[in-house]
Structure 1
Amino acid sequence: MITLDKLFIEDTQLPWEDVGPGVRRKIMAHDPNLMLVKVAFEAGGVGAVHHHYHTQMSYVESGRFEITIDGATRVLKAGDVYHIPPNLPHGAVALEAGVLVDVFTPRREDFIQ
């Protein structure tokens, strides 16, 4: 059963989690099929190259990032989006402080355990 507190999520009511030097995340909302996560980077923060079976799309809310997907690298800025099909290696380096908004399908169970 879905309750009202799961339909409306207030950013200020959710905690940040440190996930590495200069990187923290906030799980905004999820159900078994979909997850939305904010990831805040300090300048120079690194999202190490990794891969997972989830499809991911990410929106650059603020800042500038060097994004690498399957060996190809681009610099993206606020308003840009990138798409990562399942199992492709990818990573991010914050060229300046900023926030990425990541969407995963299905949800990242490893983020909520």
Structure 2
Amino acid sequence: MTKPEALSNMPAKNTIPGFYGRFVHGEQSTLAFWEITAGSVSPQHQHPHEQITYIAEGIFEMEMNGTKYMMQQHDVLVIPPNVPHGGRAVEDCKIIDSFSPPRDDYR
């Protein structure tokens, strides 16, 4: 992407039930903009990407490496590569995730 584009013009992908993401891919990273329906669950998983999560709106219960965190608006969390994590939207959420290296599975 070499010129500005409205996020709302990008198609949303339903990656798992209740998780709708719009993705921007650079050479070294992926930025994900999620809209998540209350009650939706991201099963425990891990990946080789470093992930930085920012809660823009709502409450999300994140479990990382066996510890649960109740994340609220403006909270951030760094998830190192290959660390098990997952979570549940307590309320409708808007979350921004940064991944490095890029998430080719989200292209």
TM-score (norm 2): 0.94
Distance in 1 (alpha carbons) for counterparts of 2:5 and 2:87: 27
Q: Which consecutive segments of 4 or more residues in structure 1 shift more than 6 A? A: none
Rg (Cα) greater in structure: 1
Bigger proportion of residues as helix: 1
Q: Which structure 2 residue ranges, 5 or more long, are not aligned?
A: none
Of residues 1, 5, 11 in structure 2, which corresponds to 1:15?
11
Whether 1:59 aligns to 2:54 is: yes
Q: Helix, strand or coil: the match of 1:6?
A: coil
TM-fit CA distance, 1:30: 1.5
Identity %: 31
- Pairing of 1:5-84 with structure 2 (within 5 A): 5-27=1-23, 29-84=24-79
Between 1:59-68 and 1:11-20, the stretch displaced more is: 11-20
Number of residue pairs the alignment of both structures matches: 107
Q: Which structure 1 residue ranges, 5 or more long, are not aligned?
A: none
Between 1:47-56 and 1:17-26, the stretch displaced more is: 17-26
What whole-Å deviation, never above 9, does each CA across 1:4-58 have from its counterpart, x for those lacking one?
x52423112101111222111111x212211100111111011111000010001
What is the RMSD of the two structures over their aligned residues, measured on CA atoms? Answer: 1.1
